A and B are shown apart, each in its own frame.
Chain A
Amino acid sequence: EAGVAQSPRYKIIEKRQSVAFWCNPISGHATLYWYQQILGQGPKLLIQFQNNGVVDDSQLPKDRFSAERLKGVDSTLKIQPAKLEDSAVYLCASSLAGLAGGPKTQYFGPGTRLLVL
């Protein structure tokens, strides 16, 4: 079974530039998550999708971050414009439908390491 795919693996940009990350979840997983992991900290949930609908985006900085999952499969996360403090690893995870019956196991991709100069 293929795992969660993410690209690119690494990205270096200058502040005020824009950047986009892509995630392809495990086939059949209805729930998709984007996390931000700053060095030395635990992952912080940015946004959670159930199919193509947003379940939770309470910690997404909506003035600069956006995410979409138009067809309920793969997803993109965009930052525009980037700030120095956005330097982090951006993790994508997927799971089977996580609402009814409680949280399901999340499967994580390798992450995209972003450095903002």
Chain B
Amino acid sequence: AQSVTQLDSHVSVSEGTPVLLRCNYSSSYSPSLFWYVQHPNKGLQLLLKYTSAATLVKGINGFEAEFKKSETSFHLTKPSAHMSDAAEYFCVVSGWGGKIIFGKGTRLHILP
């Protein structure tokens, strides 16, 4: 069985400060994990993915995520937020041949 939990439905940070979006997962198999971003009225775009290679994954636009098996977490971070980062972020888990499950999403607000 697989599941994914995004721990915060909304996160607000000031521009220029670090971003942390939290994601915990559950999977019977070694999972593949993804972060997608959805800007208003735009399609979903892949930020980064983990597929059992390096545990620290670098993505687009300065985002990165670290796979921690012991904590079953895959948190998304960025050192310095930009106004253009305001969007909805989805954590996704998928096991080998298993279901693809999206989290409920975290809306990131950037304060000027």
Q: Is the CB of B103 within 8 A of A102?
A: no
Counting CB contacts under 8 A, is A21 at the interface? no
The distance from the CB of B48 to the nearest CB of chain A, in whole angstroms, is 10
Q: Which of B86-102 contact A (CB under 8 A)?
A: 90, 94, 96-97, 99-102
Q: Is the CB of A99 within 8 A of B46?
A: no
- Residues in B neighbouring A108, C-beta threshold 8 A: 36, 43-45
Q: Is the CB of A103 within 8 A of B43?
A: no
In the complex, A103 Cα to B93 Cα: how many Å?
A: 10
Q: Which of A53-96 contact B (CB under 8 A)?
A: 56, 58, 91, 93
How many A residues are at the interface, by size bracket? 20 to 34
Number of A-B contacts (CB under 8 A): 51
Cβ contacts A34-64/B at 8 Å (1 or 0 each):
0100001111110010000000101000000
Counting CB contacts under 8 A, is A17 at the interface? no
In the complex, A97 Cα to B8 Cα: how many Å?
A: 33
In the complex, A33 Cα to B97 Cα: how many Å?
A: 14
Q: Is the CB of A42 within 8 A of B90?
A: yes
Given that A99-B97, A102-B96, A105-B49 are contacting pairs, would A41 and B104 also be in contact in the complex, using a CB cutoff of 8 Å?
Answer: yes
Chain A at the B interface: SS class: loop
In the complex, A33 Cα to B36 Cα: how many Å?
A: 16
Counting CB contacts under 8 A, is B12 at the interface? no
Q: Is the CB of A105 within 8 A of B46?
A: yes
Given that A103-B32, A103-B94, A105-B49 are contacting pairs, would A45 and B44 also be in contact in the complex, using a CB cutoff of 8 Å?
Answer: no
Q: Is the CB of A33 within 8 A of B103?
A: no
Q: Which chain A residues have a beta carbon within 8 Å of chain B's beta carbons?
A: 3-4, 33, 35, 40-45, 48, 56, 58, 91, 93, 99, 102-103, 105-111
Beyond the given pairs A43-B44, A102-B52, 20 more chain A to chain B contacts, judged by CB atoms under 8 angstroms and listed by A's residue number, are A4-B43, A35-B102, A41-B105, A42-B102, A44-B102, A45-B102, A56-B99, A93-B44, A99-B97, A102-B51, A102-B94, A103-B32, A103-B94, A103-B100, A105-B46, A105-B49, A106-B46, A106-B100, A108-B44, A110-B43
Q: Which chain B residues have a beta carbon within 8 Å of chain A's beta carbons?
A: 32, 34, 36, 42-46, 49, 51-52, 90, 94, 96-97, 99-105
